[in-house]
Amino acid sequence: MKKPLVGAFAAVLLIAGAGAAPAMAQDAEPTPGKAMAGAAQAGKAADSKGPVGPAKKKPRAVDFAGTVALSNCSGSVVRTAGAQPDDPALVMSNGHCLEGGMPGPGEVLVDQPSSRTFDLLDASGGELGTLKASKLAYGTMTDTDVSLYELTDTYAQIESEYGIKALELDAEHPTAGKAITVVSGYWKKTYSCDIDGFVPTLKEGDWTWKDSVRYTEACKTIGGTSGSPVVDDASGKVVAVNNTGNESGEECTVNNPCEVDENGKVTVRQGINYAQQTYQMVPCIVADSKIDLSAAGCGLPKPGAALVK
């Protein structure tokens, strides 16, 4: 995982960037993890050569609108397709970016008090204003690495005051080979690459994640990018949350995650970075932005669930 950055400098703590601990930027709040990959690139333009025919639709360039900067990490205002304008807005980041420190293996936090603040960004990365949490709705580093904060503002209030719409979470499993952009609100930087594939088990220190997204080499994310939304360039939807990378080639240590396949074979890919898929959380977000871990199809771990290593 990439660790939080200290002040304006990246002091890697655990996972993101290029190594095994979540990528975050450490600041006033003691939050572990490195800030992983920043946002990537705009869609590829249609080929202008060849016979005249129906023009290919050019994907909209991925920008910073709807992303946020935390004190030590990156994040984004997110919603499901069925979210209502008057629902409280949600901010997504990494579990290792929590202001109280990283959750231990098997630990799941639900409905915890929080008054954390987030700097909301416009399309060019300019700061529009400050959003405030009413609570930590969900946070864990078990099976995935995610945090969801419920805000004091609704989606409609944010759009009315700032002209910003939340990023939509894709309800479908992402596809290998798709062009993606990792958008870091902390660094106001994007990283562009493709989804290289999926890792059945990704291990880093004491933590284990399932079905992780592996980037192609071009996404060289760094500390402070932890929690950045991973956006599918074609659809504009969020398919994952950036969280770690192997920095120095070590095997399964903090800041050096290793891949474990279905047969238990361990593979180390130095310099390669990873994210955690988000489609499995979509069914968990129900009316009024509440997190219902018993909802049909919800794939997030529950408190007290047995830890599978």
- Give the model confidence (pLDDT) of 105-160 as tens digits: 999 999 999 999 999 999 999 999 999 999 999 999 999 999 999 999 999 999 99
> Which of 9-23, 87-101, 254-268 is least confident?
9-23
User: What confidence tens digit (pLDDT) does each residue in 48-63 have?
Assistant: 333 444 444 456 689 9
Answer whether residue 54 is part of any domain.
no
- pLDDT range class, residue 304, cuts 50, 70, 90: confident
Segments forming the whole domain that contains residue 31: 1-42+60-301
Contact criterion met (CB below 8 Å) for 249 and 39:
no
Answer whether residue 110 is part of any domain.
yes
Q: Beta 23-24 vs 34-34: how paired, if at all?
A: parallel
User: What confidence tens digit (pLDDT) does each residue in 197-226 have?
Assistant: 999 999 999 999 999 999 999 999 999 999
Answer whether residue 50 is part of any domain.
no
**Residue 121: its pLDDT value, please?**
98
Give yes or no for residue 18 having a pLDDT over 70. Answer: no
Please indicate whether residue 63 or residue 28 has the higher confidence score (pLDDT): 63
Please indicate whether residue 55 or residue 303 has the higher confidence score (pLDDT): 303
Answer whether residue 224 is part of any domain.
yes
User: What confidence tens digit (pLDDT) does each residue in 62-97 have?
Assistant: 999 999 999 999 999 999 999 999 999 999 999 999
Give yes or no for residue 103 having a pLDDT over 50. Answer: yes
Answer whether residue 309 is part of any domain.
no
Measure the CA angle with vertex 21, ends 16 and 27; round to 5°: 75
CATH number at 28 reads 2.40.10.120
Residue of 284, 275, 280, 285 whose CA lies nearest to 229:
275
Answer whether residue 88 is part of any domain.
yes
Answer whether residue 49 is part of any domain.
no
Answer whether residue 52 is part of any domain.
no
Averaged pLDDT of the chain: 86
Give yes or no for residue 34 having a pLDDT over 50. Answer: no
How many beta carbons lie within 10 A of that of residue 188, not counting itself? Answer: 18
* Whole-number Cα distances in Å, 9 to 47, 101, 126, 170, 270: 41, 19, 20, 33, 22
Is the model's pTM score more than 0.95? no
Burial of 163 (0-12, 13-18, 19+ CB in 10 A): exposed
* Whole-number Cα distances in Å, 99 to 44, 140, 230: 38, 13, 22
Count of the separate structural domains present in the chain: 1
Contact criterion met (CB below 8 Å) for 200 and 112:
no
pLDDT more than 90, % of the chain: 78
**Residue 305: its pLDDT value, please?**
61
